[in-house]
Structure 1
Amino acid sequence: MANLPLAIHTAAQVRELDRHAIEDLGIPGYTLMTSAGEAALTTLRSYWPGAQRVVVLCGPGNNAGDGYVLARLARTRRLDVTVIALADPASLRGDAHRAWRDFVAEGGATRSWSDDCLNGAEVIVDAIFGIGLSRAIEPAMAAKIARVNQSSAPILALDIPSGLDSDTGEILGAAIHAERTLAFLGLKQGFYLGDGPNCTGVVMFDSLDLSDAALSHARPSVLRISEDALARLLPRRRRTTHKGQQGHVLVIGGGVGMAGAARLSGEAALRVGAGLVTVATRPENVAGVVAQRPELICRGIESGADLQALIERADIIAVGPGLGQDAWAHSVANSALHSDKPTVIDADALNLLAQSPCKGEHRILTPHPGEAGRLLGMSTAAVQADRLSAARQIVERYGGTVVLKGAGTLVVERDGLPSICDQGNPGMASPGMGDVLTGVIAGIAAQTAELAEAARAGVLVHAMAGDMAARRGERGLLASDLFTYLPICVNPTQQI
């Protein structure tokens, strides 16, 4: 198995890679299918080495061909293989039909679906539907998929979990929930959008022996955020470095009862290396913030007018954590949003921006799906149904770079390919995580002139720290738990 590529593709782009391999490079389609079956068997034996009884579910298209190849090869390894044909294999065409015939020629036989066909299975292989599925699955098939998901056996999905839209991550009536998904030729966009992360389990990749040049024939639609970029963006510091060279972050937030949000953002900016961090908050919050984190500079402000001197001294502004939406919040947010300083906009500052839209290029907007919906005047469900489109619309309407948070956080700017983060975990769905992310992005942005790069790096660092913190368990994870791990993530050249 190969390392995951950075490139992510739509179904049309993967089909173009397949066409290029067959028509331009002269690789027979059945050779590719055989390579897919071999890779699938290698995966099965590697991750479930003790499994002897394998059930392979084969559907009506080319994905079934991969399953028949796997079944044929598994029988030569003396595995107990049961193939359940969920469509008449005689109706298969092309390479998939040949794969079935070869399976039968070597003594293989298929069974029809029955209520007990999964009994005793130690691994289930999903080769029902591939990337060509574009309509809702019929109720009878949906019931079978539900039964598969209820089985106690782990599921290996070939190329894509059946029932998952390969472009949007939408579940088309029903979808396999795999423990592992082995993708061929290209990672599918739907793995990382919508319900994709719930269905794929651990994503793996096999190139089917195609070269890097062949795999780069089709331009990707999205790029995974690479850890390699951190070393370039955050190199080892020179010994003569002082804090004045590492940027000054101004965090504006902490309305009534919400001082903790601003404090979390401020500390996060320090933990990723910002030289100075000032928290501008309501006067009654100052003592509490300073007592909890004395390294923060904290200033009490009565209105936006009090911010001007602080804004002038800052290199970047982070506005929104715990801000509220009262008159004080409107006043300070207005000053921040109309300054000429680079600005990270989060939480209630996004809600206020939705009420009084203005456009700017030197900004990073960090909405969760609900805030994104308010920015666009649509429902949260509509945002989640097409996250890429929603992020692009926010960029078009409000400018700058957009970080659309959630499972598979997206980073979208006007020019260049969108980026997606495939790290992070469900434990990070807890209060204050967004405030920490705002501080992380602002703290990294203070150390570099590239806002979009800082957004990508901040999203990745935040996710990596969350995964490190979750080693003790996802349930009960606190936003402040990330503080221990943020310095590790932003010092990649110093890790042992």
Structure 2
Amino acid sequence: MAHASLPLDLHSAANVREMDRRTIAGGVPGYTLMCRAAAACVAAIEARWPRVRRIDVLCGGGNNGGDGYVVARLLHLAGRKVRVLYLVEPQRLHGDAATAWSDARSAGVSCVAWRGGDAFAHSELLVDALLGTGLERPVAGAFQAAIAAANAAHARGCGVLAVDIPSGLAADSGAELGLAVQADVTVSFIALKAGLFTGAGPACCGQVRFDDLGATAAAHTLPALACRYQADDLATLLAPRRRDQHKGDHGHVLVIGGDHGMGGAARMCAEAAARVGSGLVSVATRTEHAGVQAAARPELMFRGVEQAAELQPLLARASVLALGPGLGQSAWSQALFAAALAAGRPLLIDADGLNLLATHPQRRDDWVLTPHPGEAARLLGSDTATVQAERFSAARALAARYGGTVVLKGAGTLIASGAAVFVVNTGNPGMGSGGMGDVLSGVIAGLLAQRLTPLDAARLGVWLHGRAGDLAAADGERGLLASDLFAPLRRLVNP
């Protein structure tokens, strides 16, 4: 899902609450902000579901529930058939949320307690105003049951709009707290929450829309938690080449990997590096793979390497190393791993190279590490669930411990360098197939060879890889192969 028109900065829930407070302190009443938020939701409904008549609004307590009551009132006044199903007794509401309920009731909106069962059997659209950004523990009880019922209705074709954030989604991390609403549209307010764009966020949010509700300028001076990357610098980083340039001007990538039975991984990585513009690409692999692979792709230079000493001439000629695709963890793998790290060349490490790094940790500033959550967990001495529950913290911890630039793969891939974190949202579920990570490694290594900095190569490489996957998925996500990315990659790197 493209988010080109949205702000780039992503904030924590605490920051957004402080922005809200500053705006109110600056003279905008809280109920005015609530009404603006509801109006933004109604505008989204008019745009996405202009003909829907039967709408149920699920309301919790607090301001998120208050937003829901105002949405219901506005829809009712516009002639829609609206019902509020509340999970918190209106008499327990306070402040602006209580005002919102009172105004909805006065306008004639039907407000009844949610009692479970098949409450949404006749609903055409659900508005989720159950739980806001303050949720910090797994949902339970009636809220969990209501979310499950909403998701069941969504599965049978009922539309779902989430107010500010899908209920059950952690605003700061994108983790699903037990169970989260699956929305078609999420309308976010004041500032974008970081969790909407990584982890379970992209799957739960659907299309993200945004309204700052007229927040005061002072509210936007808080530092962002992360930043969305959209390759606005693509044309600058990959400018047209001078007419007198030659292959030696565009770097030499050496891919090291392909232990017994895994030659395809190194080959995929190498071809990706060539497709994004590396001038020369060599592959150090098992002898059994070299001849066959060279025949299949003669533009790549394959060398059979059985001893680490045989790697030295190849290391001397390379400008960038891609270490790990199909490398394995055998004695051969460990010897090549040690030789590559000792060579002093800029490098990318992926796959089993990362698993070997986890057992022989060290820190460098000139490398790019590309772990998936399982590999990240091994590098941190943690577990996959913990990494996924705190993706931003995990990415920062990896960068702090190992240095360089870290690419934490997954839905909403994170790129961390020092304290800075960037989020990339290109890509699709069809890319969950063998070889995709090897292609990403080759893309980033190929960009490093063309003298992009590690951070630029990682950010742009992740964006290109995902965008190529999106273009390749035009014929469908199922059955998408890693090699399908090569043609769109070539087009993308020639803007």
TM-score by length of 1: 0.94
CA distance in 1, matches of 2:494, 2:198: 30
Structure 1 residue 293 corresponds to structure 2 residue 297: yes
Structure 1 residue 156 corresponds to structure 2 residue 161: yes
Contact 2:171 2:195 in 1 (8 A): yes
CA distance in 1, matches of 2:298, 2:394: 40
* Cross-structure match for 1:100: 101
Match runs of 1:177-326 below 5 Å: 177-210=182-215, 213=217, 216-326=220-330
- Give the letter for the 1:108 counterpart: V
Match runs of 1:480-491 below 5 Å: 480-491=483-494
Residue aligned with 1:228, SS: coil
CA distance in 1, matches of 2:257, 2:148: 47
* Cross-structure match for 2:49: 48
Residue aligned with 2:150, SS: helix
Q: Deviations over 1:82-108 (max 9, x none)?
A: 111221223222222222222222222
Structure 1 residue 355 corresponds to structure 2 residue 373: no
Q: Deviations over 1:167-203 (max 9, x none)?
A: 1223333321112211112221222344323322222
- Give the letter for the 2:264 counterpart: G
CA distance in 1, matches of 2:254, 2:218: 47
State the shift of 1:7 in Å.
0.9
Distance 1:489 1:281, change over 3 A: same
- Alignment match of 1:6 (pick from 5, 8, 15): 8
- Alignment match of 1:139 (pick from 138, 141, 159): 141
State the shift of 1:116 in Å.
4.1
* Cross-structure match for 2:76: 75
* Cross-structure match for 1:467: 470
State the shift of 1:138 in Å.
3.1
State the shift of 1:279 in Å.
1.2
Residue aligned with 1:100, SS: helix
Q: Once structures 1 and 2 are overlaid, which stretch shifts more, 122-131 or 446-455?
A: 446-455
* Cross-structure match for 2:32: 31
Contact 1:315 1:342 in 2 (8 A): yes
* Cross-structure match for 2:131: 129
State the shift of 1:382 in Å.
2.1
State the shift of 1:36 in Å.
0.9
* Cross-structure match for 1:444: 447
Distance 1:344 1:28, change over 3 A: same
State the shift of 1:367 in Å.
1.0
Structure 1 residue 90 corresponds to structure 2 residue 91: yes
CA distance in 1, matches of 2:20, 2:4: 18
Residue aligned with 2:209, SS: strand
Residue aligned with 2:221, SS: coil
CA distance in 2, matches of 1:172, 1:328: 43
State the shift of 1:371 in Å.
1.3
TM-score by length of 2: 0.95
- Give the letter for the 2:14 counterpart: A
Structure 1 residue 109 corresponds to structure 2 residue 121: no
- Alignment match of 1:21 (pick from 20, 23, 38): 23
* Cross-structure match for 1:413: 417
* Cross-structure match for 2:432: 429
Residue aligned with 2:321, SS: strand
Contact 1:2 1:205 in 2 (8 A): no
- Give the letter for the 1:324 counterpart: G
Residue aligned with 1:156, SS: strand
Residue aligned with 1:418, SS: strand
- Give the letter for the 1:21 counterpart: T
- Give the letter for the 1:28 counterpart: P
Q: For the aligned residues, what is the CA RMSD?
A: 1.8
Residue aligned with 2:222, SS: coil
Contact 1:366 1:405 in 2 (8 A): yes
CA distance in 2, matches of 1:174, 1:428: 25
Structure 1 unaligned segments of length 5 or more: list them: none
Match runs of 1:394-413 below 5 Å: 394-413=398-417
CA distance in 1, matches of 2:334, 2:450: 29
Residue aligned with 1:349, SS: helix
* Cross-structure match for 2:64: 63
CA distance in 1, matches of 2:14, 2:247: 49
State the shift of 1:215 in Å.
5.9
State the shift of 1:318 in Å.
0.4
Contact 1:2 1:206 in 2 (8 A): no
State the shift of 1:355 in Å.
1.8
Structure 2 unaligned segments of length 5 or more: list them: none
CA distance in 1, matches of 2:452, 2:169: 39
CA distance in 2, matches of 1:192, 1:309: 44
CA distance in 1, matches of 2:220, 2:143: 36
Q: Deviations over 1:332-387 (max 9, x none)?
A: 11111122111000111111112222221111111111111222222222222222
State the shift of 1:312 in Å.
2.0
State the shift of 1:2 in Å.
8.8
State the shift of 1:302 in Å.
2.3
CA distance in 1, matches of 2:4, 2:256: 45
CA distance in 2, matches of 1:452, 1:2: 21
State the shift of 1:214 in Å.
5.1
* Cross-structure match for 2:482: 479
Moved over 6 A (4+): none
CA distance in 2, matches of 1:283, 1:402: 32
Match runs of 1:311-350 below 5 Å: 311-350=315-354
- Give the letter for the 1:41 counterpart: V
* Cross-structure match for 1:165: 170
State the shift of 1:20 in Å.
2.0
- Length, aligned pairs only: 489
